[in-house]
Amino acid sequence: MTAERAAGRRDGARRLAPGPGLRRLQLSVTRRLDGLLNGEHLGLLPGPGTELAEARVYQPGEDDVRHMDWAVTARTTTPHVRDLVADHELEAWALIDLTASMDFGTADLLKRDLAAAALAAVGFLTVRLGDRVGAYLHTADGLRRWPARTGRPALYSLLQTVLDTPAAPAGPEGAGVGLAAAVTALARGQTRRGLRVVISDFLPADGDDPEHPPWEHPLRRLAARHQVLAVEILDPRELDLPDLGPLTLTDPETGHTHEITVDRRTRARYADAAARQRAATRTALRRAGAHHLVLRTDRDWIADLARFALRQRRAAGRAIAAPGARP
């Protein structure tokens, strides 16, 4: 068992409340992100559209110079801009990991509830534009497909299903199908181009090569056709051990239990193993072509999401403004 897979559940971790709690979650998402994500569709999250329309003569003071069509400008020697047409009726599909390792939390939320919150953030911003949201629930019993629907009632129903899914049992029966198989099922089942969100802790199973996880190649194939956002869910106790002396650790997906004595050397080795595993995950996601968002149970996840969205907008603006780049 790797050090970063060691887990235990904190019963005092706050759970997302159904019903009114989901409506409060919607208000938190839309109020704090509104104004940061203007327009129709921008890459991974709502923003300006990306479908190219006709080129036309640049109007000083009216047009955005970032939309300059440099190829047409060079041919005609007259400044031209390329209009953008927003995509409509897109489908966003999410893969939510609800296996045993996600039923863990030592801070403000369980990892499962933070995964539901991440799904809610993407979903609320998507249905506001009239787009559809569907999901694959990766549970101990296998994959459960939730059809893509539009509107807030359908999204509330999906979120409630995620919260009501029974906790996976500890041991191999709680692991379900592997994440690689789940990503493959998502890619094969939904071929229409759009946004794909994979929400998981991306922790390696016993026997996996952490440097080249088995989900990397399926995720790369998924990213070749779709925009892919990988949301990594973390808990602080997966990164560093508390200074508690004797400690019992249980791997939720194998059921193996280990008793250790926590001292300075053990904490340092644990933190080093966790840092190496995170670095390997980050590198594998980058190789696969997925955008990487990290959410932690002990941090303001909406602020982290807002910072991520702003970085994406700035990166898109730099790409459009680059000489020779096409909008």
Tell me the domains of the chain and their CATH numbers: 3-38+89-308 (3.40.50.410), 51-85 (no CATH)
- Range list of H helices, 55-151: 70-76, 111-127
How confident is the model at residue 119, as a pLDDT? Answer: 93
Angle of helix 20-33 relative to helix 301-321, nearest 10 degrees? 40
Rounded CA gap, 136 and 198, in Å?
Answer: 10
- What averages of pLDDT result for each successive group of 10 residues across the chain (327 residues)? 44 54 71 56 48 72 78 88 62 92 87 92 81 91 90 90 82 70 93 90 85 94 93 93 81 78 88 94 95 93 86 64 48
How confident is the model at residue 6, as a pLDDT? Answer: 43
The helix/strand count (H/E) of the chain reads as 8, 10
| Residues sharing a CB contact under 8 Å with residue 90, sequence separation 6 or more, in sequence order | 41, 126, 129, 131, 132, 194, 195
How confident is the model at residue 45, as a pLDDT? Answer: 52
Q: Tell me the residue type at 96.
A: I
How confident is the model at residue 136, as a pLDDT? Answer: 96
β-bridge pairing 257-261 and 291-296:
unpaired
- Would you tell me how many other CB atoms lie within 10 Å of the CB of residue 11? 6
Instruction: Give the containing element (helix H, strand E) for 319.
Output: helix 301-321
How confident is the model at residue 125, as a pLDDT? Answer: 80
Please, which contacts does 254-262 make with residues 24 or more away whose CB atoms are closer than 8 Å? 254/1, 254/171, 254/172, 254/175, 254/206, 255/170, 255/171, 255/172, 256/1, 258/1, 258/6
Rounded CA gap, 255 and 249, in Å?
Answer: 10
